Amino acid sequence: MANQGTITSPALTIDSLADNVLVDIFSFLDVKDKCRTAQVCRRWNSLIHQKSLWKHIDLTPFKVDLRSIWKLVRAYYTDMLLSLRLHGFTESIKSTECISNAVLTDIKSRCPNLRELFVTKANLITINSSLLPAALKQLTLHKCLISVDWFKPAVDKGVLENVEKLSLCGTTRTSDATLKDLTKLPKLKSINLSGCYRIGESGVSAICQSLSQIEEAYFDGCDINDQCLHHIGTRWTSLKVIILENCSRITDVGLGSLSILKKLTHVNLVSCSIGKQGVINFLTVTPSVKLECLKLSKDADYTGDDVSKLESLKPGLQVELI
């Protein structure tokens, strides 16, 4: 039995926490849980609308249809939004999408500071690329459907002038004609064309001549040849990373074209038609190139001694067998 003089403190509940503490807690919730939290009470609803909670929106874990996207845009998308990730319906039987021209127009208006846009598995053929936010620095279209000239309206209006990283990994219909439309991106430093099997010498030549500031290039699974590597070696003097995995048409001769790239640090040659001697020659004739990582195929019969020999040719080099 408690003493009569004892003072009992009121029970501490979540509602006892200060607004700033609750906002910190809410910041760990995903989009779906934030929307549910907003329905608990008026106070929580007000706190969930704090702009700081909506700087980065990731909807890729959920397939959110156009109607729901509209609701989110109108309720939570503000000038504080920096990154947006969307998941489309190209692998679904639903006749809907995650974005439309009207939604993109609204996003452009409400979110003028959007820096990163990631869209996966969406049909974008009817989307007008000129409606993309002009502040974008990173644009990723992963396994999306686009038309061959999809980027032309955006390039013509200069809305992609700030883009530094562009990834079209696995995006259907990306071709040489597409690359020729991308030659007017003055700040582009990283380009990912992995899985774009329609890419060939014509497109590579075009971007090499116009985009001299490229530092990272990903060609995994592209149909490029030795001539493409010649264009890369002579034009992309700032190149640091090049991924040539599954590029079966390149040979020892093409690899030699990269020997003049003094800033090159990472090279991926997994599943390429390049022999051991070709790799040795490449490392031997590049005294000024400070390679840090070289990835090769396990099935190319490299032994532990082979790896040690290759690493001895270039101090600081790490050879990985994949």
pLDDT tens digits along 210-260: 999 999 999 999 999 999 999 999 999 999 999 999 999 999 999 999 999
Average pLDDT of the chain to the nearest whole number: 93
pLDDT at residue 286 tops 90: no
Share of the chain above pLDDT 90, in %: 84
Minimum mean pLDDT range among 76-80, 233-237, 301-305: 301-305
Whether residue 202 contacts residue 224, with contact meaning beta carbons closer than 8 Å, is answered with: no
Supply the DSSP string of 244-285, one letter for each residue: -TT-TT--HHHHHGGGG-TT--EEE-TT-S--HHHHHHHHHT
Within 10 A of 133 (CB to CB), how many other CB atoms are there?
A: 21
Can you say how many angstroms the Cα of residue 99 is from the centroid of all Cα atoms in its chain?
18
User: In terms of residues, how long is the chain?
Assistant: 322
Please answer whether residues 143 and 90 qualify as being in contact, where contact means their C-beta atoms are separated by less than 8 angstroms: yes
The DSSP H or E segment spanning 241 is strand 241-243
List, for residues 2-31, the tens digit of each pLDDT value.
555 566 666 778 888 999 999 999 999 999
Residues 6+ apart with CB under 8 A from 231: 201, 204, 205, 208, 209
At 154-190, the pLDDT tens digits run 999 999 999 999 999 999 999 999 999 999 999 999 9
Q: For residues 119 and 90, give the distance between their C-alpha atoms in angstroms, rounded to a whole number.
A: 12
pLDDT in tens, 122-151: 999 999 999 999 999 999 999 999 999 999
pLDDT at 51: 95
pLDDT at 309 over 90: yes
Distances, alpha carbon 12 to alpha carbons 3, 8, 15, 177, in Å: 22, 12, 8, 64
**What is the CA angle 77-79-84, rounded to 5?**
50
69: closest CA among 89, 53, 45, 51?
Answer: 89
More confident residue, 93 or 91: 91
Q: Provide the pLDDT for residue 93.
A: 76
Cα 136 to Cα 156: distance, rounded to the nearest angstrom: 16
**Residues 64-81: b if buried by 16+ CB within 10 A, e if exposed:** beeeebeebbeebbbebb
CA distance 319 to 303: 11
**Which pLDDT does position 96 carry in this prediction?**
83
| Distance from C-alpha of 256 to C-alpha of 233, rounded to nearest angstrom | 9
Q: Considering the entire predicted model, what is its pTM? A: 0.91
Give the pLDDT mean for 276-289: 84
For residue 4, the model assigns a pLDDT of 59
Q: Provide the 10 A C-beta neighbour count for residue 216.
A: 17
Neighbours of 143 (CB within 10 A): 17
With contact defined as beta carbons under 8 Å apart, do 144 and 120 qualify?
A: yes
Q: What is the pLDDT of residue 10?
A: 65
pLDDT category, 1, cuts 50, 70, 90?
very low
pLDDT for the residue 9? 62
For 117, the token pair is 């846009």
Question: pLDDT for 32-58, tens place per residue?
Answer: 999 999 999 999 999 999 999 999 999
